Amino acid sequence: MSETVLILGATSAIARATAAAFAVRGASLYLASRDLGELERIAADLRLRHNVEVHFGLFDAEATGTHEAFFQTVIEKMRGLSGVVLAFGYLGDQQAARDFKAGAKVIAANFTGAASILSHSANYFEPLQRGFIIGISSVAGDRGRQSNYVYGAAKGALSLYLQGLRNRLFPSGVRVITIKPGFVDTAMTYGLSGLFLVASPQAIGERIVAALGKSADVVYLPWFWRYIMLIIQHIPEPIFKRLKL
Amino acid sequence: MPTLITSIFGWGRYPVQTCKLERPERYADLHSGAVSLIARGQGRSYGDAALNENRHVLLTERVNRLLAFDADKGILRAEAGVTLAEILDVIVPKGWFLPVTPGTKFVSLGGCVAADVHGKNHHHEGSFGDHVIAIDLILADGRHVTCSAAENADLFWATVGGMGLTGIIGEVVLKLIPIASSHMIVRHHAAGNLEQLFQHLQNPAIDDRYAVAWIDSLVTGQQLGRGIAMCGHHAAVDELPAGHGDALAIKPERSRKVPFDLPGWALNPLSIGAFNALYYRRAGKKTQPFLTGYDPYFYPLDAIDQWNRLYGKRGFVQYQCVIPDNAAFDGIRELLQELSGSRRPSFLAVLKRFGAQGRGLLSFPMAGYTLALDLPIRDEGLLVLLNKLDGIVLRHGGRVYLAKDARLSAESFRAMYPRYGEWLRIKSSVDPQNRFSSSLSRRLGIGEVTP
């Protein structure tokens, strides 16, 4: 059977690049997000450039009540799945820290919604004894900083969730990979000041798919972010709390 | 939409201006509503056509999806941010080619419409706009309108060649041409002087579907205008050597990169003269038809990534003009004389034949001959020389190509583009506030309602 992959949050630049990297390997794809108009365009593009089968459908991470039926639809349409890529994310703005309503949306999109669809995915793959789950978290989840700690907390929770899931699914032979991108040149970061070593979405997409062929469970992209975050995580809290980060 | 304020420039690296960049990723975000906005695809126009100093520039590079391809009829629909290179990768293996292509494939589809670009086949097949079936144009008020030669035709012909000033070109439907192989059959014809070169380009026995002439711009006197006509066509299957394999396979081209800006003096009369003499002898020997890929024939400079850095930090101006048929020989001879008299060598001088003028109201091509010169910027003297060239072009009834231009005057523009008044009426009706404007449009007074 050829590879069939569900991409959740398929309209982001990283997701689009990841979908393209899967299409290069000949995978059939199911693209999901809230924006059907964009999905239709991305699906057409992937079909024309890579001659692969591409389906798409509506998925709202925050509407967790719809996730089970959604997942079932995907399984039927694709006649089974080889893997799931969780690529949605919502940065929000500084308001998220002061105004809980805004913060709740960040948490709902990045963590609650993710935990919901991941549980359906895990329950599907576990009895099959095969498959993969790739979760795109963020280096922002490695340490809380005043500039984006609501987003960071939600992504940090997602990283922990994926870690636990990996532990649970290991005996079933289901791969769970946590991707932690650093700065990537996407709509989320465009025009922000203070960015450095910004990677292209294409490079990240290719590395995400390449991670399936390697053994690492947690993949920083590009690789040097592992060391940047190692340093950041090891700054003693009494010093860290004084920093403007 | 988030903006990035930074200095940008065109392919000629002159001028350099600070602009507010926006980069949408969704089709629905293609228009920000900023009061002065210009779309920018790959930034391959040479001067200030895709600059908007201290104002907004909308990058279309991420809105680049291929949407539909009818492989039986050769009709492609795609978002305007896609490059010709990406299109070729998809269509060539299926037996189709671009109907018109400029000298680089690293341009956006939208840019090709906005500049109504031409190729080496204008004398037979017209310019890019002649092959566009329809476009989706996003107007100043955010409305999307379908424009074609049949529907909203006025707006269509104001947009083809309209330098992005009527709206944002969102999608393009393009009619392709069938090919039997990805190869070209090319033949070179050396000419000892300009008269011979013109004769070559007019000679039906030498002409082919595609024709272009390289000129050694440094020689003077009797040999003024010596060069090589390079004529070619897409190879038919029976023209390929035995055992050629898949006729439509694309051979990946290796690209070399210019890693740094060459010092300004690197290209000088001596080095260019030596190169030209060598090239004239070597290329002139290829008098028998030879087989080559479409990349080396159409896009020789694409093999050198960022070749514009060869001209050094100060950049260069590409001066491209067209002179109508009856005055072409005299006009182009005068231009070359003026150029060689100035001792400002042009690294590249290219002569092509144009067919009839198209319907694009601000389109560049007209029946005649077009000359393109690459001139490094050393000092203000270059601008003096170029003004002189404008005078020669005007006297012979010609015009300068806006997609290459960085320094034409508003007065010369009006004289060169007689259909501007007609264009302005259409522009004013869809964009009365002149929202779509660029550094080029302000410099040339394009779009301003007061005459």
Which residues on B lie below 8 Å from A35 (Cβ)? 26
Beta sheet of B368-376, edge-to-edge order = B290-293, B183-191, B227-234, B210-215, B349-354, B368-376, B316-324, B399-400
Residues of chain A in contact with residue B69, where contact means CB-CB under 8 angstroms, are 48
With contacts defined as CB-CB under 8 Å, which chain A residues touch B67?
Answer: 41, 44-45, 48
| Per-residue confidence band for B451, with pLDDT thresholds at 50, 70 and 90 | very low
Q: How far apart are CA B406 and CA B391, in angstroms?
A: 16
CB nearest to B67's CB, from A11, A41, A191: A41
Return the HEC string of B84-115.
HHHHHHHHHHHCEECCCCCCCCCCEHHHHHHC
A 10 A CB-CB count for A227 gives 10
Tell me the residue ranges of DSSP E strands in B325-382: 349-354, 368-376
Cα B314 to Cα B15, B98, B121, B379, B438: the distances in Å are 9, 34, 33, 9, 22
Q: What is the C-alpha to C-alpha distance for residues B432 and B436, in angstroms, rounded to an integer?
A: 10
The answer to whether the CB atoms of A187 and B66 lie below 8 A apart is no
Which domains are assigned to chain B? 66-179 (3.30.465.10), 183-412 (3.30.70.2520)
- Per the listing, tokens 């930090």 go with B313
Which amino acid is located at B86 in the chain?
E
In the predicted structure, residue B360 carries a pLDDT above the cut 50:
yes
Does the distance separating the beta carbons of B28 and A38 come in below 8 Å? yes
Dihedral sign, CA of B261, B267, B268, B270? Answer: positive
Chain segment A9-19, per-residue pLDDT in tens: 999 999 999 99
Contacts of B138 (CB under 8 A, 6+ apart): B30, B31, B144, B167, B168, B169, B170
CB pairs under 8 A between A and B: 46
Q: B83 contacts in A (CB within 8 Å)?
A: none
Mean pLDDT of B34-59: 97
Q: How confident is the model at residue B270 (pLDDT cuts 50, 70, 90)?
A: confident
What does the alpha-carbon distance between residue B106 and residue B38 come to, in Å, rounded to a whole number? Answer: 19
Q: Which whole number is the average pLDDT over B55-74?
A: 98
Contact A39, A9 (CB under 8 A): no
Instruction: Using CA coordinates, name the residue in chain A closest to B88.
Output: A49
Best of B18, B25, B83 to disrupt the A interface by mutation (most A CBs within 10 Å)? B25
Q: Place A119 in a pLDDT band, splitting at 50, 70 and 90.
A: very high
Cβ-nearest to A48 among B21, B25, B66: B66
CB contact under 8 A, A37 and B28: yes
Which of residues 153 through 192 in chain A touch B, CB cutoff 8 A? 186-187, 190-192
Q: Residue A244: is its pLDDT beyond 60?
A: yes
Q: Which candidate in A38, A48, A56, A200 is best for mutational testing of the B interface (most B CBs within 10 A)?
A: A48
C-alpha A38/C-alpha A44 separation (Å) is 10
A45 contacts in B (CB within 8 Å)? Answer: 65-67
pLDDT digits (tens, 9 = 90+) for B289-344: 999 999 999 998 888 888 888 888 888 899 999 999 999 999 999 999 999 888 78
The answer to whether A159 and A178 are in contact (CB under 8 A) is: yes
Of A37, A187, A191, the CB nearest to B27: A37
Question: Which residue in this structure is represented by tokens 């990240």?
Answer: A204
Residues 223-242 of chain A with CB under 8 A from chain B are: none
In a domain, A245, yes or no: no
**B65, B66, B76, B83: which to substitute to probe chain A, counting the most A Cβ within 10 Å?**
B65
> What is the spatial distance between Cα B232 and Cα B291, in angstroms, rounded to a whole number?
10
Among chain A residues, the shortest Cα distance to B79 is held by A41
Taking Cα atoms as reference points, which of A121, A92, A113, A87 lies closest to residue A17? Answer: A87
What six digits make up the tokens of A113? 């919604």
Alpha carbons B318 and B372: distance in angstroms, whole number: 7
Distance between CA atoms of B94 and A222, rounded to whole angstroms? 36
Give Cβ neighbours of residue A100 (< 8 Å, ≥ 6 apart). Answer: none
Alpha helices in B366-419 (DSSP H): 381-395, 410-416
Residue B437 C-alpha, separation from nearest chain A C-alpha, in angstroms: 22
Domain that holds residue A168: 4-240
Find out whether B318 and B372 touch, Cβ atoms under 8 Å.
Answer: yes
User: Could you report the per-residue pLDDT of B205-248, keeping only the tens digit for each?
Assistant: 999 999 999 999 888 889 999 999 999 999 999 999 888 788 89
E strand or H helix at A187? none
Question: Can you spell out the DSSP letters for B111-141?
Answer: HHHHTT---TTHHHH--GGGGEEEEEEE-TT
Spatial distance between the Cα atoms of A97 and A27, rounded to a whole number of angstroms = 40
Which among B317, B191, B183, B325 is positioned nearest to B245, based on CA atoms? B183
Residues sharing a CB contact under 8 Å with residue B54, sequence separation 6 or more, in sequence order: B17, B18, B19, B20
Mean pLDDT of chain A: 95
Q: Is the pLDDT of residue A73 over 80?
A: yes
In whole angstroms, give the CA distance from residue A22 to residue B147: 36
**How would residue A1 be classed by pLDDT, with cut points 50, 70 and 90?**
low
Asked if B321 and B398 count as a contact pair (C-beta separation under 8 A), the reply is yes
* Cβ-Cβ contacts under 8 Å, B18 against chain A: none
Residues 13-32 of B with CB under 8 A from A: 21, 23-28
Residue A19 located in a structural domain:
yes
What are the tens digits of pLDDT across the range B13-36? 999 999 999 999 999 999 878 889
Residue A218 domain-assigned (yes or no): yes
Structure tokens belonging to residue A103: 């913060």
Nearest by CB to residue B4, choosing from A13, A48, A190, is: A190
pLDDT of B115-127, one tens digit each? 999 999 999 999 9
- B23: chain A residues, CB-CB within 8 Å: 187, 190
- By the 8 A CB rule, do A54 and A29 touch? yes
Kindly state whether A41 is in contact with chain B, defined as any CB-CB distance less than 8 angstroms.
yes
Q: Going by C-beta distance under 8 Å and a sequence separation of 6 or more, which residues neighbour residue B261? A: B309, B312, B313
CA distance linking residue B220 with residue B153, whole number of Å: 47
% of residues, chain A, pLDDT over 90: 88
**A235, part of any domain:** yes
Q: How far apart are the C-alpha atoms of B425 and A24, rounded to whole Å?
A: 48
For chain A, say whether B279 makes contact (Cβ under 8 Å): no
Is the distance from CB of B57 to CB of A66 less than 8 angstroms?
no
Cβ neighbors of B258 (< 8 A, separation 6 or more) are: B304, B305, B306, B307, B309, B310
Q: Do B26 and A42 count as a contact with CB atoms less than 8 A apart?
A: no
- The whole-number average pLDDT for the span A54-81 is 98
Distance from CA of A192 to the nearest CA of B (A): 8
For residue B165, CA distances in Å to A40, A156, B115, B435 come to 29, 47, 11, 8
Provide the pLDDT for residue B205: 95
The number of folded domains in chain A is 1
Residue A93 lies in a domain: yes
- Residue B349, C-beta contacts closer than 8 angstroms, at least 6 positions apart: B214, B215, B216, B217, B227, B336, B371, B372, B373, B374
Q: What is the pLDDT of residue B402?
A: 98
Q: Which residue on chain B is closest to A39 by alpha carbon?
A: B26
A45 CB within 8 Å of a chain B CB: yes
Sign of the torsion formed by the C-alpha atoms of B160, B161, B166 and B171: positive
Q: Is the pLDDT of residue B266 over 80?
A: no
User: Are the Cβ atoms of A190 and B23 closer than 8 angstroms?
Assistant: yes
Q: Residue B2 and residue A13: Cβ atoms within 8 Å? A: no
pTM of the model: 0.95
Probe site for chain A from B62, B87, B172, B176 (most A CB atoms < 10 A):
B62
Does the beta-carbon distance from A49 to B2 stay under 8 Å? no
A133/A6 Cα distance (integer angstroms): 10
For B421-441, the pLDDT digits (tens) are: 999 999 999 999 999 999 999
Please state the rounded mean pLDDT for residues B57-84.
98
**What is residue B450's three-state secondary structure?**
coil
Q: CATH number of the domain that A93 lies in?
A: 3.40.50.720
Which residue is it, tokens 């990045």? A110
Share of chain B above pLDDT 90, in %: 78
- Which pair of structure tokens corresponds to residue A222? 């590009």
Task: Report pLDDT for B449.
Answer: 65
Kindly determine whether residue B66 and residue A45, on different chains, have CB atoms separated by under 8 Å: yes
Closest to B225 in 3D by CA, of B318, B112, B349? B349
DSSP conformation letters of A68-112: HHHHHHHHHHHTS-SEEEE-------THHHH-HHHHHHHHIIIII
What span, in angstroms and rounded, lies between the C-alpha atoms of B409 and B404? 14
DSSP class of A25: T
Out of A155-159, A220-224, B100-104, B252-256, least confident range: B252-256
| Distance between CA atoms of residues B149 and B132, nearest Å | 9
B62 contact A CB<8A: yes
- Do residues B197 and B158 lie in contact, with contact meaning Cβ atoms separated by under 8 Å? no
Measured in whole angstroms, how far is the alpha carbon of residue B146 from the centre of its chain? 25
Q: Which has more pLDDT, B353 or A194?
A: B353
Do B67 and A186 count as a contact with CB atoms less than 8 A apart? no
| Contact assignment for A187 to B23 by CB distance below 8 Å | yes
Q: Which residues of A touch B58 (CB under 8 A)?
A: none
- Does the residue A168 lie in any domain? yes
